Amino acid sequence: MKLYYMPGACPLASQIVLEWTGTPYELQAVERSALRSPEYLALNPVGSVPTLVDGSLKLTQNPAIMEYISELHPEAGLHGKTREQRAEVRRWLSFNNSDLHRTFSLIFAAASYSDDPAVQNLIAQKSTDRVQFLFGVANKNLEGKEYQAGSRSIADPYLFVILRWAKAKKLDLSDKPNLEAFFARMSADAGVKTALKKQGLE
């Protein structure tokens, strides 16, 4: 199994699931400039990471990759035992991917939406406000819980990766103690540490 990634980007979430399930895998770094190459687009038609190649399967989209790995290893218990628990896992996975990640991307990529620096600043500021609102939702959900869906699941590595970006961008999370505690918990996890080390990030 081979995971295509860029260091620190969202494929880290899928890689943590590979570590948590004990799946043997190979990492393949992709240069940003190679994302739109015909060779890479043949693997991932959107030209983004992650891509997971497992035999003849070329799988894209982080949530699909994480569910796939989790289904190969039900014994790891990363996707909930009951229908209700599985629904909770999907709910937070969708929240992380479609709400948080999508909005955070606007902070990183404001320059792709306008050439005007004032507009770029406005996009970044409005997106930061929205990300902080969404972090507030995640913080509230984590009240009295160690993990987003109650027990550890495939949703958690995604939130961890986005919190790493928030730290890099120096977003103030001081009013979100449950998120800070979650970040510390995940940072201390052996599988998370191994995944970071394999990407050259510590």
Ligand X SMILES: N[C@@H](CCC(=O)N[C@@H](CS)C(=O)NCC(=O)O)C(=O)O
Question: By CB under 6 A, is residue 196 in contact with ligand X?
Answer: no
C-alpha separations of 189 from 10, 12, 28, 133, 184 in Å: 18, 14, 23, 27, 9
Contact with ligand X (CB under 6 A) among 15, 21, 62, 103: 62
- Interface pick for ligand X out of 23, 28, 61, 151 (rule CB under 6 A): 61
Give the burial string for 58-90 (b: 16+ CB within 10 Å, else e).
ebbbbbebbbbbbeebeebebbbeeeebeebbb
35 binds ligand X (CB under 6 A): yes
Q: Does 15 bind ligand X (CB under 6 A)?
A: no
3-state secondary structure of 4: strand
Q: Check if the beta carbon of residue 110 is closer than 8 Å to that of residue 150.
A: no
Does residue 138 contact residue 128 with C-beta atoms inside 8 Å?
no
| Beta bridge pairs of residue 5 | 29
Site string for ligand X, 65-104 (x = CB under 6 A): --------------------------------x-------
- Quick one: which H or E segment has residue 177? helix 177-187
Is position 148 an interface residue for ligand X (rule: CB under 6 A)? Answer: no
**Closer residue to ligand X (CB): 11 or 80:** 11
Nearest approach, Cβ of residue 174 and ligand X (Å):
26
Q: Does 128 bind ligand X (CB under 6 A)?
A: no
Q: Is 53 in the site for ligand X (CB under 6 A)?
A: no
| DSSP code, position 170 | T
Of 15 and 62, which CB lies nearer to ligand X in the complex structure? 62
Q: Nearer to ligand X by C-beta: 164 or 198? A: 164
- 51: nearest Cα among 94, 103, 14: 14
Per CB under 6 A, 10 contacts ligand X: yes
Per rule CB under 6 A, count of chain residues that contact ligand X: 9
Q: Contact positions toward ligand X, by CB under 6 A? A: 9-10, 35, 48-50, 61-62, 97
